[in-house]
Amino acid sequence: MSKDETSIHILRKVVVDGLLIFALVIAIIATDHLWDPFQRGFFCGDETLMYPYKEDTVDVYMLKIGGIAIPLLAFLICEWTLLRKEQCEERCLGVPIHPWMRGFYCALASFFLGLCFVELATNISKSTIGRLRPHFFDICQPSVDCSAPQWQNRYILPHEYTCTGQFTSRFRNMRMSFVSGHSSWATYTMTYLALYLEKRMIWNGTRVVRHTLQFGALMLCWFTVLSRISDNRHHWSDVLAGLSLGLVGAVVMWAWGTDLIQPKKNHKHTVVQYDITNTNLHQETLAV
């Protein structure tokens, strides 16, 4: 492949990946802000909706930044360590593309693509189901008098009540319990990271460190998942569904959607040399 063809191939891949991820991000933003969740009613005696409102233990910014920054740092360190000694054989528009840079890009693009898939599936589920959060009564404070006989033992339709609570900015979010977005995001990012470390953190003396880092990543995920229940933000089934979605997304993306650059192994060639003076045959093994 000529230099021009190599440059075109690299640029085409970067542009296509960028456009695809950009389109997915737009779809995520649209489903999150423009799609009103399904309007669901309730039963007055539903105790699963009577929990008090609590602030997040793991807020959204902490979740998003940590879920992206930690894997990115691992990708950078592992790819540089594995491929830093490989010869640079490709150039794009005259600029050398080192193997560790290509390896970092491959892991990064696959990771973000899978993350967009999981996030989009999460948003679609939230708006389609419209499940009420456990703190629904505390935030909504529905206008119906649940002690009145006409509201007992019956399903109250959305058009039969209005929310009188003062925190109107939370009215939309209180209808987006299924699935847990924190759970799907944390599970995908940390599971993908654990799988990545198992494959790429393979240099000598890192086995115990690798397993410790994998355990730490999974415990960050586990803590985040459990906090969604203790914070009264989700029902246990919402969390289980989010965890399952993130786990399946990470495994599928790692197994079938990630191409990694493998470091070249040293090959041994046997070179036959003759000693003219002694007419003896010698063999030397040279590593290249």
* Residue 92: Cβ-neighbour burial (10 angstroms; 0-12, 13-18, 19+): middle
pLDDT band at residue 99 under the 50/70/90 scheme: confident
Query: Per the structure block, which two tokens stand in for 81?
Result: 């360590």
Compute the average pLDDT of residues 269-287: 42
Compute the average pLDDT of residues 185-209: 93
Instruction: Please check the confidence at residue 50 and state whether its pLDDT lies above 70.
Output: yes
| pLDDT, greater one: 262 or 165 | 165
Instruction: Please check the confidence at residue 229 and state whether its pLDDT lies above 80.
Output: yes
Share of the chain above pLDDT 70, in %: 88
Instruction: Please check the confidence at residue 255 and state whether its pLDDT lies above 90.
Output: yes
**Cα gap 235→200, rounded to integer Å:** 37
Compute the average pLDDT of residues 254-277: 64
195-203: long-range pairs with CB below 8 Å, 24+: 195/250, 195/251, 195/254, 196/71, 196/74, 196/75, 196/78, 196/107, 196/111, 196/254, 197/74, 197/78, 199/260, 200/78, 200/79, 200/82, 200/107, 200/260, 201/78, 202/82, 203/81, 203/82
CB 75 within 8 A of CB 107: yes
Spans of all domains in the chain = 3-287
Instruction: Please check the confidence at residue 158 and state whether its pLDDT lies above 50.
Output: yes
Chain-wide mean pLDDT for the chain?
Answer: 88
Instruction: Please check the confidence at residue 287 and state whether its pLDDT lies above 60.
Output: no
CB 83 within 8 A of CB 101: no
Supply the pLDDT for residue 271.
Answer: 41
pTM: 0.88
- So which residues are the catalytic ones? 182, 234
Instruction: Please check the confidence at residue 210 and state whether its pLDDT lies above 80.
Output: yes
Instruction: Please check the confidence at residue 169 and state whether its pLDDT lies above 60.
Output: yes
